A and B are shown apart, each in its own frame.
Chain A
Amino acid sequence: MIYKADPDQDVLTGLMSGDERALKELMRRHLDRIHRTAMRILGDAALAEDVAQTVFLKTWEMAPNWVSGKARLLSWMLRVTTRQCLDILKKKAPIYTDDMPDISDTSDLADKKMIKDDSAKMVRKAIERLPNRQKIALTLSYYENVSQRDGAEIMDITVGAYEALLVRARKTLKNTLIRDAEISTERPKDDRKLAL
């Protein structure tokens, strides 16, 4: 795929010649976005900062090798971000896969009860429990407004597969949020049933 215009071309020229001002400018443009993406995928601020740091340092280190016209710099950086996150998630929680069955998770009811009135935390928890690839697709498309074509390229899959991931992500998320809402309202009535 050939991209005729990269919005970061001006910064790239500076980066390739080792100009630190270019790196500063690149961070001004994209540090928030890269950090946000990592944060949404990982759900951990410290890890997200580590990922953002790695991505920018890799960009700096590899800049002289950059071949213009093959990909947008931001797409490449998002690709590195998602791969770094996937590596961390694989080490952190290997039990989550795309084939995870729809089984009620009753392991952290106390936690759920605590956050029942805090919708943002509830959504965050639900996103954290999404299978990794669904989580990445959702984060890219919903929060970062990445097009499906770019999202597919970042994840190195076909557009069809990317769309399927998004559909599954929304479905899983919906089911999880409904289930959490049910649990948080039913628990006071019937603790014994939910403790199963």
Chain B
Amino acid sequence: MTPIDKNSNMPPESEAAAELLDTQLDAALQSYTVDAPSDLLAARILKMAKATPQQKQTFQDIETGNIRQENVLWREKRYGFGIAALLLISLTFAFGTLNFAPSDTESDTAEIWLEAAADLGMSDIYDWVEGQTNSMDDTR
């Protein structure tokens, strides 16, 4: 290779100088050669390849859902999240339904309860409670 001559570093506007420099640069680049790798490298790669299992999962496998074992854990986690979300929705719905359900204290059911209480002889207690309430109102 011809070393790049600093004297050929003519003003940049000189096309001839630029061309000369390009030629010199090409020659310089050609001089840089690289030795071949050692013979052991190929043997080492082969040995390691024997110990390295190929990834048998293909793109077709991924598309058909035949995913590998390590993905099962993630799949189970996803099911867990799904179940938790379903429970949360159910609870929210149940809570809302209970809150907005109409009270049945004034319905026929309430009268049935009153009749049952009277049958059991609890009318005296009701009278006593009512009496207590009235006397309290009178004292106010």
Minimum C-beta distance from B16 to chain A (A):
15
Q: Is the CB of A119 within 8 A of B6?
A: no
Q: Of the candidates A35, A39, A57, A181, which one forms a contact with B5 in the assembled complex, judged by CB atoms under 8 Å apart? A: A181
Chain B stretch 46-104: residues in CB contact (< 8 A) with chain A: 46, 48-50, 52-59
Report the count of interface residues on B (CB-CB < 8 A): 36
Interface residue range, chain A = 35 or more
B123 at the interface (CB under 8 A from A): no
Q: Of the candidates A20, A174, A182, which one forms a contact with B49 in the assembled complex, judged by CB atoms under 8 Å apart? A: A20
| Chain A residues whose C-beta falls within 8 Å of the C-beta of B41 in the assembled complex | 31, 35, 49, 52-53
Q: List 15 A-B contacts (CB under 8 A).
A: A20-B46, A31-B45, A32-B36, A52-B37, A57-B48, A60-B49, A62-B54, A64-B58, A120-B31, A120-B33, A123-B32, A170-B22, A178-B4, A178-B6, A178-B9
| Nearest opposing residue in chain B for A181, CB measure | B6
B35 at the interface (CB under 8 A from A): yes
Q: Is the CB of A182 within 8 A of B45?
A: no
Chain B stretch 3-37: residues in CB contact (< 8 A) with chain A: 3-6, 9, 21-22, 25, 28-29, 31-37
What is the interface of chain B, defined by CB distance below 8 A to chain A? 1-6, 9, 21-22, 25, 28-29, 31-38, 41-42, 44-46, 48-50, 52-59
What is the interface of chain A, defined by CB distance below 8 A to chain B? 18, 20, 23-24, 27, 31-32, 35-36, 39-40, 45, 48-49, 52-53, 56-57, 60-65, 67, 119-120, 122-124, 127, 142-143, 170, 173-174, 177-178, 181-182, 185
